[in-house]
Amino acid sequence: MSTAPIGVLGGTFDPIHYGHLRLGEELGEALRLDEVRLLPSGTPPHRSAPAASSEHRLAMTRLAAQGNPRFRVDEREIHRSGPGYMFDTLASLRAEIGPARAIVVLLGADAFLELATWHRWRELFGLAHIAVAHRPGFPIEGWADQMPQPLAREYSARLMQQLLSVHLSPAGGIVVIPLTALDISATALRETLRSGKSARYLLPAAVLDYIRSNGLYS
């Protein structure tokens, strides 16, 4: 059995797009993760209800992951009733894989800046490392100044310069990784689809076909 760290990429995926997929692919490669779990959320605690149902978001995630040997779709959040917290997700994954293997939560910079609003956020570091990737519109240079104090403190205490340090312990560190800048967001994509404009090349063709044949976001 492999002991390489497992990546966890959670999101609403409403719909999943190339910004998400490059986040999983590039960070998976840079951190030498042999598995990246894509976890579509159930009822997200921080936002209003997704536009597409859980079933559709799961189906689109499956289509997007197809053919990538590193990607695996993990259904543990989507079937949970009530708010799905990252803490619970990581605790259940940790219980499954045991204490030794590293887990790395993959986040865009926008999501990381919100971290201190997450349920039991400090305890996340007892369960996993966090890898933060650049996202257009959220510059990382000098960004500790934009963080609320408690997050800035954790950030400076936990930042690791060597990406592969995530292989040396099961949890507790933060790494920051450049990512090909793709200014794609699900919100903008839904708007593009709603207004009847082309969304081609912003997300996998199989996902776009699924959206069309199920009449989503129109």
- In the complex, minimum distance from the CB of residue 168 to ligand ATP, in angstroms, rounded to a whole number: 24
Q: Which residues bind ligand ATP (CB under 6 A)?
A: 11-13, 19-20, 23, 107-108, 110-111, 133, 135, 179, 182, 184-187
Min dist CB 50 to ligand ATP, Å, is 9
For residues 145 and 122, what is the distance between their CA atoms, to the nearest angstrom?
A: 19
- CA pair distance 115, 120, nearest whole angstrom: 10
Q: How far is CA 30 from CA 7, 74, 165, 179, 209, in A?
A: 11, 22, 12, 10, 31
3 or 187: CB nearest ligand ATP: 187
Distance from C-alpha of 5 to C-alpha of 38, rounded to nearest angstrom: 14
Burial class (CB in 10 A: 0-12, 13-18, 19+), 173: buried
